[in-house]
Structure 1
């Protein structure tokens, strides 16, 4: 890596505009990665930053820089030793992974003109998928707990339309916001324009699709509906 020069001001602004808390961004010391990154990556105005103590496995770094893209900003603040993939699929992608994020066997994909912002602490126990594309955005505030096989996606990647009108029926590049202290249970799905409120719980195999989940509620089912409100959940499993 080159000597520490910190985030370029325009890249800090990119992260802020994508929904990153600037205090969280500024709390870390960033180094722009030069070694192990192809020359074309820099020539095309892409930037990868790692904070002190952060890392990407060599295979993940190789995949990240495999396909030609332009104007991409990726800032990783955690030691993502167990992540399966971090990919960008087009120009202008923006990714911020804060300190305190653990994505065991997780997959992160950010398409062109899209953004993903994951604040820490965030624990995804296994095989979480976070997918933003077609100009969509995902923002997760701190204190996330995701059980195995959680799926968070802004787009279905295929068009579904009304045959009579031609109107698209499924989401296209939607915005997803996960509030502070959210618990996504095993196999939970959050997709389309969705807003999950602070302290909420999305039950096992529930599907939140184009919905607003009230703060401090439990939702379950497909589509998700409120089954309990005014709840508080904790990491402790006690009577």
Structure 2
């Protein structure tokens, strides 16, 4: 991996040790000629890959200066779509996105540090210069939705001001459990060791570490907590 792309990934929120832990190979085969002509780069770590169907859709429409680094075998990923120039995507080793869908728009970033286990149909959407940065040790139940923006403008008719998020930034700390159909959207910061309850909405909020939050909008329902992958009494 060239130094400029390493710096680009670090600036997007990728930890240096995550980059240094793997050997990266720049993909030269299986992509159209315009991919290289437009200064795009797809890197794969040893043993990592995208399926032919995902790769074909990724390179369906021309874009420029895109950097993507894939550190895990993505046999369960359904789609990885780039919506414009200068998108940046990093999927670390031990990232499993079962039937997952990723969209990264122009000037936007998606960074997942491993391990991440998403049991079914996670949807990640970063656009308008927004970002999603996730630390490791994640458990996401089915139907989790992370989106920086609402994709359409909501306007105050008196002032003309946009009142819903635009180019928001989502940061999720280490050891976070997102329960089934949890939604995280807008400017959000979730601390370490958090559990977000079933069908809860975290929107434009800062969630303290070591808490359980639930509801729409989410609120703290329990403090000084932790959780475990083991389902023990």
1:203-222 aligned at under 5 Å gives the runs 203-222=197-216
Corresponding residue number in structure 2 for 1:178: 172
Distance 2:146 2:185 in 1: 6
Alignment deviations for residues 157-186 of structure 1 (CA, whole Å, 9 cap, x no partner): 000011111111100010000000000000
> In structure 2, what is the equivalent of residue 35 of structure 1?
29
Q: When the two structures are superposed, what TM-score results if normalisation uses the length of structure 1?
A: 0.97
User: Could you report, residue by residue, the CA deviation over 1:1-51 in whole angstroms, capped at 9, with x for unpaired residues?
Assistant: xxxxxx110000010000001101111010000111000000000000000
Find the partner of 2:188 among 167, 187, 194. 194
Aligned counterparts of 2:79 and 2:188: Cα–Cα separation in 1 = 24
1:84 counterpart SS class: strand
1-structure distance, mates of 2:19, 2:120:
26
Task: Find the counterpart in structure 2 of residue 4 from structure 1.
Answer: none
Counterparts of 1:35-54 in structure 2, within 5 Å, are 35-54=29-48
Q: Give the total of aligned pairs.
A: 233
Question: Could you tell me how far apart the structure 2 residues matched to 1:214 and 1:206 are?
Answer: 16
**CA offsets 1:179-205 (integer angstroms, 9 cap, x no match):** 000000000000000001000011000
Match of residue 150 from structure 2: 156
Which residue number in structure 2 is paired with residue 229 of structure 1?
A: 223
Q: SS at 1:14's partner residue?
A: helix
Aligned-partner SS, 2:49: coil
Which structure: greater strand fraction?
Answer: 2
Task: Say whether 1:77 aligns with 2:51.
Answer: no
C-alpha separation between the residues in 1 aligned to 2:229 and 2:122? 19
Task: Show the counterpart of 1:25.
Answer: 19
Q: Which residue does 1:147 correspond to in 2?
A: 141
TM-fit CA distance, 1:105: 0.2
Match of 2:105 among 86, 111, 124: 111
Deviation at 1:106, TM superposition (A): 0.3
Ranges in structure 2 where 5+ consecutive residues have no aligned partner? none
Q: TM-score, normalised by structure 2?
A: 0.99
The CA distance in 1 between the partners of 2:56 and 2:69, in whole Å, is 16
Cα distance in 1 for residues equivalent to 2:36 and 2:138? 33
Moved over 3 A (4+): none
| CA deviation map 1:40-71 (0-9, x unaligned) | 00000000000000010100000111111000
Once the 2 structures are TM-superposed, how far is the Cα of residue 121 of structure 1 from its aligned partner? 0.3
Q: C-alpha distance in 1, partners of 2:81/2:92?
A: 17
Alpha-carbon distance in structure 1 between the residues aligned to 2:120 and 2:149: 22
